[in-house]
Structure 1
Amino acid sequence: MDLRESIANQTNVSLSVAKHLFSKESDNNIVFSPLSLQVVLSIIASGSEGPTQQQLFNFLQSKSTDHLNYFASQLVSVILSDASPAGGPLLSFVDGVWVDQTLSLQPSFQQIVSTHFKAALSSVDFQNKAVEVTNEVNSWAEKETNGLIKELLPLGSVNNATRLIFANALYFKGAWNDKFDASKRKTTSFTF
């Protein structure tokens, strides 16, 4: 598998998504993580089959699950390596999958999620404990983002009809080499 080709394909997918997002007439700022999208969709593709999986392969410009898993494991190993110099930028990247306890997952999928994607995988009771699952996911996000994301899932967004949650938390802290001119900055509200 050619890593350069995979990176080029991921870049093409990212640019396609960005083009779609920015094509909407809007004065709003847009922030998205192409890497997060790639990894979460790769996890979903790894657990899919048939036409759904093929559509994900086409969108992600990938040939197979093995190809996606290899690329993801390379990305995750680079991102999770602690190679930043002391005082340098801090990057934390985590994924999680919460699955209703009534669903059985193939052992091969469980292994892919934990090995290639280094993602948390939990079997939960959406039927009777939707609020508790919401709190669990929110606690996970808060912990993994050093307290910056406290409410990934609003209360009521998870209910007894929920079967799967795929989540990604990306935390970055760094200093600019060239700081913004303070006279050109303005304060406005930011929502996501």
Structure 2
Amino acid sequence: MSLFRGAKKRPNVVPLMQKAVLVLSVRLFFFKSRSCGSLLPLAGQSRPSPLRARPSAHRPVPVRRGSAVPAAPLRPAITMENLRNANTRFALDLLRRFNENNPTGNVFFSPISVSAALAMVLLGAKGNTEAQVLKTLHFDEVEDTHSRFQTLTTDINRSNAPYLLRLANRLFGEKSYSFLPDFLTNTQKLYGADLAAVDFLQAPDEARKEINHWVEEKTEGKIPNLLSEGSVDNMTRLVLVNAIYFKGNWAEKFTEANTTDMPFRLNKNERKMVKMMYQKKKFRFGYIPEVKIRVLELPYDGRELSMIILLPDDIEDDSTGLRKLEKQLTLEKLQEWTCAEHLHSTDVHVHLPKFKLEESYDLKSDLAAMGLLDVFDSGKADLSGMSGARDLFLSKIVHKAFVEVNEEGTEAAAATAGIAMLCMAIEEDFNADHPFLFFIRHNPTQSVLFFGKYASP
């Protein structure tokens, strides 16, 4: 979620900015506004509804990489591949930041939720602010970003899928603040994000509760209270919310009777007991000798989504045993290690712990370290594509994600030949009794929806 803020205008002084917030049900941003005067009330409102667009001579600008809709699509297949690659690079950037901050702890987040929320910010960004968002998201090599994201969201949100996957967006705006019609039209058209009016000015806590209720509803109750008390105030002007929820059953379920208590090795010296699931079935499996890891694909019903697990052979360092893998993990390596050509179907003895993770992140410092600076600076942020004036900046970004893995499946809320040698044994062992990386992938688009590290029960 993103929060946008603003502040009072002063004579002969550049107006202070207003706050804006971006919220993700797996992610949250806060935006605030620089100026809190000259706010025109909306007439005849009896309930939260789309905010009034600010009358403006601003019309859609010529399309750039960050702009809304091009006159004609350019190489659709290549462009979608570029978007997928950009999202995966961004996911790995975030993973590295989280690992640096907490090298022995668990990690779980939804990179596509974060990307989608920032892409909505991109719709209103101009100048250097726009350039920094594009570079941070690796969108500078993606033509027609927003239309491609629209296509991706449509593919992911397929209504007749054998799994439940929802990716939803909504804008909550101060009811007396005016937004440009182009911004409102594009967020709704491209991201399905309607703008609902709330009273940040007079009743910020009630607005916060309304936002939390929407997020809780969209995540089937798994992420309540996304926004803590005080996270929005009467300077907040806009909250951009993205919520993602996934629930899928394994294509090959684990039998509950086979689940037993077993030790999980946190490092060379520490162990904790976990509920370890077991089954022997045919799965796609590969071995990467250069980093000594086993790769296992566990498909969900319908096989459109899979959990991919990267498991080191053993703990070879003084922390989680993942250090070598994490250092070498790049887009190219991840695609190479997990592509269909490098995984073969074979009988696998699978030991996998049942686990539940709920992680919260304030992403402002992480994104700033990745190059996203101006959008957080009230003196430099240019989000004039939202309001027609440089009166908004991003004050806070919070991301919260939940995942539960059990015998039935997964519930979650928040891509060169020859290098990987395949083990062609009749049966393989995959014993996840020590830390591992995992991600949930939408196979038709090869998009990473969730990324995690399980290191501590």
Instruction: Report TM bin, short chain.
Output: 0.7 to 0.9
For residue 71 of structure 1, give the secondary structure of its aligned residue in structure 2.
helix
**Alpha-carbon distance, 1:27 to partner:** 3.2
**Who is 1:114 aligned against?**
188
Contact 2:108-2:359 at 8 Å conserved across structures: no
For residue 23 of structure 1, give the secondary structure of its aligned residue in structure 2.
helix
**Who is 2:133 aligned against?**
56
CA distance in 2, matches of 1:105, 1:3: 30
Matches within 5 A, 1:1-192: 1=74, 2-63=79-140, 67-84=144-161, 88-176=162-250, 177=252, 179=254, 182-183=259-260, 184=262, 185-186=274-275, 190=358, 192=360
More strand by share: 2
CA distance in 2, matches of 1:54, 1:69: 15
Q: Return 32-41 or 161-170, whichever deviates more.
A: 161-170
- TM-score, reference length from structure 2: 0.38
CA distance in 2, matches of 1:135, 1:56: 29
**Who is 2:418 aligned against?**
none
Q: Return 42-51 or 1-10, whichever deviates more.
A: 1-10
Contact 1:98-1:123 at 8 Å conserved across structures: yes
Any gaps of 5 or more consecutive residues in structure 1?
none
**Alpha-carbon distance, 1:140 to partner:** 0.6
Q: Give the direction of change, closer, same or farther, for the CA distance of 1:59–1:190 in structure 2 (3 Å limit).
A: closer
Corresponding residue pairs, total? 189
One-letter identity of the residue aligned with 2:160: A
One-letter identity of the residue aligned with 1:107: P
CA distance in 2, matches of 1:64, 1:104: 33
Contact 1:76-1:118 at 8 Å conserved across structures: no
**Who is 2:8 aligned against?**
none
CA distance in 2, matches of 1:140, 1:20: 29
Contact 2:170-2:193 at 8 Å conserved across structures: yes
Larger RCO (CA within 8 A; separation ≥ 6) = 2
Q: Give the direction of change, closer, same or farther, for the CA distance of 1:190–1:34 in structure 2 (3 Å limit).
A: closer
One-letter identity of the residue aligned with 1:36: S
For residue 115 of structure 1, give the secondary structure of its aligned residue in structure 2.
helix
Q: Give the direction of change, closer, same or farther, for the CA distance of 1:190–1:36 in structure 2 (3 Å limit).
A: closer
More helix by share: 1
RMSD across aligned C-alpha pairs, in angstroms? Answer: 2.4
- TM-score, reference length from structure 1: 0.86
* Same amino acid, percent of matched pairs: 26
Q: Which has the larger radius of gyration?
A: 2
